[in-house]
Amino acid sequence: MPRNYTDWMIKMTEIFRLFRLGLDLSYETDFNQIGYNNFTQSMELEPGTLAMYGSHVPGDKSQQVVLERYASDEAYQRHVDSPHFKAFASLAQKAITSREVVTLTPEIFLQKPTALRVLEPNDFSVRLARVTVSDSQAFAAIVLPEMRASMDKEAGVLVMYAGTDVDNPDTWYFFEVYKDEAAYETHYETPHFKDYIDRSSAFVLDKSLQPLTADMLVNRG
């Protein structure tokens, strides 16, 4: 049976990063416009820019969360050399009050085949989870099949990415996009998700789940 999603397993050449940015809200309008240009131009002009997701903590636009994927270091360098990124970097010197970067080792990238181009207010539901485990190999054997089952069986699951912190390999990050909050709630009640929770509990040392408000979500499908 053919898959109705795109599945990438451990593309070691890929650049996969999570950014937590503090935004001075006096620059919010400029940040939104230059960010829009950066996202749209990157998708139009840079084949090696695979995905860019911009969100914020609900009720607090000063706490921005950005996730990016690039096909290679060369693709990332092409992006940072572009005029649209340089415009963003110039604004960031004034507008960004704090910056935390987590570089991730890719574990799996799953997404529906239709490219995302979400650039306006929307009803998408976004989650960022962090899970620290005692045995990454055993945990992977449980969580990765569950993610594939979710993508295959649930129409409302649009994106599921997993990576491990390069500095803390037993800390996993999961980035997920759902069609809406109802799709997330449906996912939470599925047998495969409940099975994952039950079977992985012995390996989980710590976990946190951050709901996010989607601002701009783009990928190549």
Confidence class for position 221, pLDDT limits 50, 70, 90? confident
* SS3 assignment for the chain: CCCCCEEEECCCCCEEEEEEEEECHHHHHHHHHHHHHHHHHHHHHCCCEEEEEEEEECCEEEEEEEEEEECCHHHHHHHHCCHHHHHHHHHHHHHEEEEEEEEEEEEEEEECCCCCEECCCCCCEEEEEEEEECCHHHHHHHHHHHHHHHHHHCCCEEEEEEEEECCEEEEEEEEEEECCHHHHHHHHCCHHHHHHHHHHCCCEEEEEEEEEEEEEEEECC
Task: Give the pTM.
Answer: 0.93
Taking residues 14-20, report their average pLDDT: 97
* Predicted confidence (pLDDT) at residue 3 exceeds the cutoff of 60: no
Structure confidence by residue, pLDDT tens digits, 34-64: 999 999 999 999 999 999 999 999 999 999 9
Q: To the nearest whole number, what is the mean pLDDT of the chain?
A: 95
Q: Which domains does the chain have, with CATH numbers?
A: 15-219 (3.30.70.100)
Q: Please report the pLDDT score of residue 9 as a whole number.
A: 54
Structure confidence by residue, pLDDT tens digits, 145-195: 999 999 999 999 999 999 999 999 999 999 999 999 999 999 999 999 999
